[in-house]
Structures are given as structure tokens and as C-alpha cells.
């Protein structure tokens, strides 16, 4: 049985950075599940049809890291039929040997509730806004408003809302460097692998 790590949390909390560091450290496969929703949102047209036809090639689009793609992802993620179409894709990925790390909003609660390790990564709103604004070269206050709007939408949706799994370990990265956050996550994973 492959070792699965579920990492959830709001945008710009550091979950993707931590997931990539863990994948490199342990030699596991990594899937940023937000890319699935970003790709569906960026495709335009009928989001349900786009989700049903999604392929791995669609995840390589260069525009998927834009703020617009993030907002589109949050909008299409509220559609239960879109979420259902993407569940199998994610679960197949999670079954890859020797292990897999999936990061998103509902990995520990919906996609991989039996994951060996569940992390819920958080950071203060302003810290997240500063991180994302620096990444995208945008205004911090504008980014703060966008993140709060997205957080509200993600937490309020009826299907798979953003929330920690009951057995998730919360990791607050507000005052952590990338190296410190990755090291903390490595320690958590190593304790479960032992």
C-alpha cells in the first residue's frame, strides 16, 4: 500500500512549497490538486465537460498560476459535478507507489481520508497576501481582498468545504521560513514512517 500524505489549507499558506519539499525528500509523487481546478476554470466553456475531459497535459498550461486562474478555480470548485469528475483522477494519483503527496483543500477530508499523514497548513491573512503578491507581482491589499473572498467561498461551499480533517496536524507557517516549514513537515512525516 503506497504511503499517502494529504496537505490542505488556504491559498498561499505554504502547502504547495511544503508538498514539493516532502516529495523531493522522500521520493514520492506530488500533485497540486488546485491545478486540476485551475485547468478546468481556465478552459472556459462548460466546466463539467472540461473536468470530465481533463488530461495530465492540461496541467502544464503556463497560465495556471495566475490570479485569474485561481479565482476561476475557486468558482468551478463549488460545482459538485466538477468535484465528482476530478475525485477519481486524484484517488488514482494517490495510489501511486512508493507514495504520493496531494495538496489542496479537501484531500484529508474527502479525497484521501485514510492518508497516513494529514497536514493542515495555515498562515495569517496578511502574510499569505504578501507571499502571493510577491509571487505574482501584484498589490498586497488587492491580493488580501482576493484571498479573503476565496477563503470565504472555499469554506462556505456545501460540497467538500475547506476545513481540517479531525486527525490533521495544523502547521502555522506565518513566522516560518520555507526551510523551517519544510523541516517541521519532514519531522511529522518521519514520525509516521517510523
Residues in the annotated binding site for ATP: 9-17
Enumerate the domain spans of the chain: 3-193
Instruction: List Cβ neighbours of 56 (8 Å cut-off, separation of 6 or more).
Output: none
Q: Flag whether pLDDT at 71 surpasses 90.
A: no
CA angle at residue 136 from 36 to 153, to 5 degrees?
Answer: 50
**pLDDT the model gives residue 24:** 97
Residues contributing to the annotated binding site: 9-17
For the whole model, what pTM was predicted? 0.89
CATH of 3-193, one of 3.30.830.10, 3.40.30.10, 3.40.50.300, 3.50.50.60: 3.40.50.300
What confidence tens digit (pLDDT) does each residue in 25-70 have? 999 999 999 899 999 999 989 999 999 999 888 999 998 988 788 8
pLDDT at position 136 over 90: no
47 grid coordinates: 466546466
User: Would you place residue 176 in the very low, low, confident or very high pLDDT band (cuts 50, 70, 90)?
Assistant: very high
Does residue 158 or residue 94 have the better pLDDT? 94
Mean per-residue pLDDT over the chain, rounded: 93
Q: Is the pLDDT confidence value at 160 over 90?
A: no
With 90 as the cut, is the pLDDT of residue 77 above it? no
DSSP readout, 87-108? HHHHHHHHT-SSEEEEEESSII
Q: What is the pLDDT of residue 25?
A: 97
Q: What is the predicted pLDDT for the residue at 1?
A: 63
Which of 116, 126, 123 lies closest to 192 in space, CA to CA? 116
pLDDT for residue 67: 78
Backbone angles phi, psi at 137, to 5 degrees: 70, 40
Amino acid at each position: 500500500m503506497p504511503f499517502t500524505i494529504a496537505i490542505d489549507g488556504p491559498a498561499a499558506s505554504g502547502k504547495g512549497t511544503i508538498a514539493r519539499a516532502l516529495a523531493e525528500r522522500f521520493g514520492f509523487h506530488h500533485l497540486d490538486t488546485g491545478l486540476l481546478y485551475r485547468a478546468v476554470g481556465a478552459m472556459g466553456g462548460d466546466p463539467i465537460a472540461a473536468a470530465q475531459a481533463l488530461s495530465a497535459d492540461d496541467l502544464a498550461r503556463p497560465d495556471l498560476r495566475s490570479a485569474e486562474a485561481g479565482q476561476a478555480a475557486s468558482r468551478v470548485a463549488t460545482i459538485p459535478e466538477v468535484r465528482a469528475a476530478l475525485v477519481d483522477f486524484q484517488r488514482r494519483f494517490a495510489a501511486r507507489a512508493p507514495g504520493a503527496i496531494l495538496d489542496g483543500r479537501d484531500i484529508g477530508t474527502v479525497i484521501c481520508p485514510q492518508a497516513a499523514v494529514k497536514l493542515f497548513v495555515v498562515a495569517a491573512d496578511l502574510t499569505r497576501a504578501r507571499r502571493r503578491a510577491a509571487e505574482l507581482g501584484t498589490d498586497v491589499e488587492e491580493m488580501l481582498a482576493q484571498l479573503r473572498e476565496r477563503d470565504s467561498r472555499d469554506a462556505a461551499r456545501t460540497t467538500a468545504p475547506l476545513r481540517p480533517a479531525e486527525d490533521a496536524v495544523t502547521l502555522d507557517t506565518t513566522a516560518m521560513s520555507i526551510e523551517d516549514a519544510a523541516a517541521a513537515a519532514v519531522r511529522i512525516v518521519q514520525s509516521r514512517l517510523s
